[in-house]
Amino acid sequence: MSTSRQKMFVSFDYDRDADLKLLLVGQSKHDDTPFVIWGSSVKEHIDGDWRGTRLRFSTVDVICILRGKNTHTAKGVGIERQIAKNLKRPYFLIAGYKNTVNGKPRRWSWSCSRP
């Protein structure tokens, strides 16, 4: 594994889009992929205390938000996105499905410091 890979946290709708996350994990195992997954959303619903997420965000270079068909209704993903914004952590969106219409993913270059 190259040391130049960026550490990435993956935010996703655990109940509906775990398959998207698994596909991204598979992609991360390729030698030419510029990222390594360093953490991701958890299955358990968190009520109020998001300190663990804030701590995990401080150990990554970038946050990836996987956009599925219903991600806009996933409370945890919304909170993780807001934490990323509050901490001024770079994040970007990836459309998980070709016909996802719940938000426009941003273009991303791995050399960008912020989208």
Mean pLDDT by 10 residues, the chain (115 residues): 79 90 90 89 72 85 91 88 91 80 50 40
Residue spans of the domains in the chain: they are 6-95
User: What pLDDT is stored for residue 9 in this prediction?
Assistant: 93
pTM: 0.77
Residue 10 and residue 76 in contact, taking contact as beta carbons nearer than 8 Å: no
Residue 52 and residue 105 in contact, taking contact as beta carbons nearer than 8 Å: no
Q: CA dist 100 to 22, 24, 69, 97, Å?
A: 18, 17, 6, 5
Residue at 27: amino acid letter: Q
The three-class DSSP label of residue 39 is strand
State the Cα–Cα distance between residues 12 and 23, nearest whole angstrom. Answer: 12
Q: CA dist 88 to 39, 44, 83, Å?
A: 18, 25, 8
Tell me, which fold does domain 6-95 have in CATH? Rossmann fold (3.40.50)
